[in-house]
Structure 1
């Protein structure tokens, strides 16, 4: 009889503990009822290239500054997504159509005149290959002066508003885009 009372007490204790947990830790219960895959969905919003361009041409890039993602299509229609860093503020952000006019491996970096004005302590130039170079290992130069799609040595910047106007990618991602995107690739920043 005593064993049965102990078992009964244990069940009651368990039920009380479970009730307290539901009352005092509702987030645990809610976490179990939410689809775990849905909770981990990225914030990337993809775009159909046809909504922005008439034809693929030699390829095209759409960089969404809100969802911080770059979509690249090759001439045969293959599309890949890449997380990006985007400009720090709206006044540094340029939106609209441009194109890739030059490509450089291990580009050197020089701050723009406005960057020098805001940060006079910055060096006048950092050579390509230098770990302090903010352009990373590759850069796609756009038809807009001073604007680039480039790599970064500082991977903490990806997924954030952290640039002075450019679109930044992980070095391994810009190397992939660099190989796949010829000069003349159409670009739209939205």
Structure 2
């Protein structure tokens, strides 16, 4: 084997090892936010997730003030932003969003109620689309609202947790905004009745 061949093989081995090491180091971050996700409405296929819009934002283009705190949900980038009233706290959470445009509501509302261990009942429209669904689900691991829920001023709309973590980062809800349970628990502690909410 020539010296040049050894050099080329040595470089290839180094690059292969570096790529493998980089993949190992990056995996915890990718496990949290994911560089892949299942296709919307089909949990058997895997596609790349676009997380290019998962970035911090300034509150001022969206709110005139941060009285009672402010929540911004960006449907297109599937991200929820939270700012505390005194701006000492800013959080950015990946979220699930509605399945389709006709289920999506945009505009301004506010948190009107907070519930730990929420129960769930499908809306009349959901029952019509999915007659096989149960009429009521109490708190617990089978509840679609996860461990905590923030009820909004719009009827039937909530920001809530989910026990099915595959839904986060996807179009997967019937109108609500879903977060990982650990994230909704944190947001639940920050938000209060009257916290401003804007969906764009």
TM range (shorter): 0.7 to 0.9
> 1:145 — aligned with what?
155
> Who is 1:80 aligned against?
91
Q: Which has the higher helix share?
A: 1
Change (3 A) 1:132 1:56: same
- Counterparts of 1:140 and 1:10, CA distance in 2: 68
Detail structure 1 runs of 4+ shifted over 4 Å in the superposition. Answer: 14-18
- Once residues 12 and 54 of structure 1 are traced to their aligned partners in structure 2, the CA distance between those partners, rounded to angstroms, is 66
Match of 1:25 in 2: none
1:105 aligns with 2:128: no
Deviations 1:3-28 (A, max 9, x none): xxxxxx4225447779xx8xxxxxx8
- Encode CA deviations 1:61-111: one digit per residue, 9 max, x unaligned: 001111111111111102111111111111111111110011111110000
Report the secondary structure of 1:174's partner residue: helix
* Structure 1: stretches of 5+ with no match in the other structure: 1-8, 22-27, 32-36
Work out the CA distance in 2 between the residues paired with 1:16 and 1:175: 53
**1:62·1:188 contact (CA, 8 Å) conserved in 2?**
yes
Two-structure CA RMSD over aligned residues (Å): 2.5
Q: For each residue in 1:45-76, what CA deviation from the matched residue of structure 2 results, as whole angstroms up to 9, or x when unmatched?
A: 43321111111001010011111111111111
Q: State the aligned residue count.
A: 167
8 Å CA contact 2:145–2:162 kept in 1: the answer is yes
Q: Distance in 2 between matches of 1:13 and 1:97?
A: 65
Residue 175 of structure 1 aligns to a residue in which SS?
helix
Task: Give secondary structure in 1 for the equivalent of 2:138.
Answer: coil
TM-score by length of 2: 0.76
Q: Which stretches in structure 2 are left out of the alignment for 5+ residues?
A: 20-25, 27-34, 36-49
Q: Please give the TM-score of this superposition, normalised by the length of structure 1.
A: 0.80
